[in-house]
Amino acid sequence: MLLNSDLSRTTFSTSKAALFGLAGLAIIGFSNPVVAQENKVVAKVGAIEITLGDLDQAVTDLAQQLQNVPEAQRRARALDTLVDVYSLAQKATAEGLDKDPVVKRQLALLRARALHNNYFQNKIRPTIKDEAIKARYEKEVAGAETPQEVSARHILVKTEEEAKEIINELDGGADFVELAKAKSTGPSGANGGDLGYFGAGRMVPAFEQAAFAMEKGQYTKEPVKTQFGYHIIKVEDKRSQPAPTFEATKDQIQQLLMTEAYAETIKKTREEIGVQILDESLKVPENN
């Protein structure tokens, strides 16, 4: 459960106790640990030294709780939280709470989580190189077939008779763009009925079916009825949709590769170490 209370100076004193409890867990069980580069000691709590690296980590992990605190005060508030956490932790140790079986299990789990996360950050994540991301992009994005798009114009009128009269004019050599400007009731009429490029699912079914069935340069010989009225459609161009760029997909591909690398590492590690789920009801189905 995360604390959403305002951490402004006026409310900090009342919400502080709840924040400390949460901060204690956050500080011990970082989900994304940052290796401390700065060893300068900024505070001492009994025999424990708090470094700038510790403080930077606390600021990162308490970001949500500190989001309403002025930026200039966040490091001081984070340090204040660290001091209280370490103070109470030392008191708990002095009174023997660290020997409690429940606390021991909690600490063991938090230690395992920290090691797990550190292994991912330092052993798995660095294996995903730009070359691998680029290769995956070329194989599965740039080289993949993309859906077809149609560039079309249309003239929209209220009645079938009007639409048939316009088709007769087109058959007689009239300019589609000029007719659209003069007679179309749709919002694109002023622009010569230009709808630009669109893919499947973008238009109402009857309109889409007619547009995709024609070749470049053709127009409908029969009015196309939709809930908006009667359309005369002309296909200006057809093309395959452009593939997403590498920059637009790089982060997603990197995440995918990291997920795959993590899954493979977990699979091999489980096999090496040996895992037994003794309660059948707790086994995760294989297809999950």
What's residue 15's pLDDT? 35
- Domain 148-240 of CATH type 3.10.50.40: yes
Taking only the tens place, the pLDDT of each residue in 186-199 is 999 999 999 999 99
Q: What is the mean pLDDT of the chain?
A: 87
Q: Rounded to the nearest 5 degrees, what angle is found at the Cα of 204, between the Cα atoms of 201 and 206?
A: 110
What is the tens place of the pLDDT at every residue in 164-174?
999 999 999 99
Kindly list the domain boundaries of the chain, sorted by start residue.
9-100, 128-141+244-277, 148-240
CA diameter of the chain = 99
The confidence score (pLDDT) of residue 226 equals 96
The whole-angstrom separation of Cα 194 and Cα 184 is 11
Compute the distance between CA of residue 90 and CA of residue 45 in angstroms, rounded to an integer.
9
- The CA distances from residue 184 to 2, 97, 127, 173, 229, in Å, are 57, 80, 59, 18, 11
CB 64 within 8 A of CB 22: no
SS3 per-residue string spanning 111-148: HHHHHHHHHHHHHHHHHCCHHHHHHHHHHHHHCCCCCE
Distance CA 193, CA 157 (A): 12
Within 10 angstroms of residue 62's Cβ, the number of other Cβ atoms is: 23
In angstroms, what CA-CA distances link 35 with 54, 55, 126?
9, 12, 14
What is the pLDDT, as a whole number, of residue 38?
73
pLDDT tens-digit series, residues 108-167: 999 999 999 999 999 999 999 999 999 999 999 988 888 899 999 999 999 999 999 999
Count the helix, strand and coil residues of the chain and give each as a percent rounded to the nearest 5: 55, 15, 30
Pair type for strands 194-199 and 229-240: unpaired
Give me the percent of the chain exceeding a pLDDT of 90: 79
- Cα–Cα dist 23/86, whole Å: 11
Distance, in Å, from the CA atom of 155 to the CA atom of 188, rounded to the nearest integer, reads 8
How many other CB atoms sit within 10 Å of the CB of residue 288? 4
Is the model's pLDDT at 16 over the cut of 50? Answer: no
**What phi-psi label fits residue 36: left (phi over 0), alpha (psi between -120 and 50 degrees) or beta?**
beta
Q: Could you tell me the pTM of the whole model?
A: 0.60
